[in-house]
């Protein structure tokens, strides 16, 4: 399995400047849906997952100055996952003290019994990060392609349709489909690599 790209160090450094709206917008586009899906997957209702997501983003904004980019200390995603997990536990602990009747007690017990980051949830977080990275990159580059080029890529690479079927549907040759896919994938690769480096 190909390793997911790391968040580029320049973005993380720029996040230390609370006035850098562009950095925070890019960070939110990538990580907000990821944190939300993690919360939903762990049994949080929609409103609670949204609230937790905002708490995680706020915690990151307050603590980003203390994050150490030393690889020996772990990745940024690992640090973010620990923040999200700890806030989930804090949220559930608070709910337990002040129950509102909407939580799943089995889920509360499950999270509270796990003292350390478990590999299953960490692997899920990494998998979702790769998916969100793809979504973000695709959204960033889509406008740079003609409709048929984008559809040729999307229908064959994402939807998994056969090249011949897509060629017939779009009234393109199979060769044109391959070229379109190649062009889009090259741009996607470049955009994803931006998360890894300046």
Least confident of 45-49, 62-66, 69-73, 94-98: 94-98
Structure tokens at 148: 């048929």
pLDDT at 120 over 90: no
Q: How far apart are CA 168 and CA 108, in angstroms?
A: 52
> What pLDDT was estimated at residue 96?
63
Q: What is the 3-state secondary structure (H, E, C) of the chain?
A: CCCCCCCCHHHHHHHCCCCCHHHHHHHHHHHHHHHHHHHHHCCCCHHHHHHHHHHHHHHHHHHHHHCCCCHHHCCHHHHHHHHHHHHHHHHHHHHHHCCCCCCCHHHHHHHHCCCCCCHHHHHHHHHHHHHHHHHHHHHHHHHHCCHHHHHHHHHHHHCCCCHHHHHHHHCCCHHHHHHHHHHHHHHHHHHHHCCCCC
- Tell me the whole-structure pTM to 2 decimals: 0.53
At 71, the pLDDT band (50, 70, 90 cuts) reads low
Domain boundaries 145-198, CATH class: mainly alpha
pLDDT at 6 over 80: no
Rg (CA), the chain: 20
Q: For residues 6 and 77, is the Cβ–Cβ distance under 8 A? A: yes
9-143 CATH fold: Rna Polymerase Sigma Factor; Chain: A (1.10.1740)
Least confident of 69-78, 161-170, 172-181: 69-78
Other C-beta atoms closer than 10 Å to the C-beta of 147 total 9
Mean pLDDT throughout 18-26? 81
**Do 9-143 and 145-198 show the same overall fold?**
no
Q: How far apart are CA 95 and CA 102, in angstroms?
A: 9
pLDDT at 121 over 70: no
pLDDT at 126 over 80: no
For the chain, which residues make up each domain, given as ranges?
Answer: 9-143, 145-198
């Amino acid at each position: 399995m190909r390793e997911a790209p790391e968040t580029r160090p320049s973005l993380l450094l720029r996040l230390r400047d609370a006035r850098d709206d562009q950095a925070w917008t890019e960070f939110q586009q990538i990580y907000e849906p990821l944190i939300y899906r993690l919360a939903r997957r762990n049994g949080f209702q929609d409103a609670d997952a949204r609230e937790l997501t905002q708490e995680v983003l706020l915690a990151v904004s307050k603590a980003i100055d203390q994050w150490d980019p030393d690889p020996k200390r772990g990745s940024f995603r690992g640090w973010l996952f620990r923040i999200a997990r700890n806030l989930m536990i804090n949220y559930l602990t608070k709910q337990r003290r002040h129950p509102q009747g909407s939580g799943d007690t089995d889920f509360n017990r499950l999270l509270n019994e796990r003292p350390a980051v478990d590999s299953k949830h960490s692997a899920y977080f990494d998998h979702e990060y790769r998916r969100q990275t793809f979504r973000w990159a695709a959204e960033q580059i889509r406008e740079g392609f003609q409709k048929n080029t984008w559809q040729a890529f999307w229908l064959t690479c994402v939807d998994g349709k056969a090249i011949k079927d897509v060629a017939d549907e779009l009234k393109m040759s199979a060769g044109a489909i391959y070229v379109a896919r190649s062009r889009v994938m090259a741009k996607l690769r470049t955009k994803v690599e931006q998360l890894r480096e300046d």
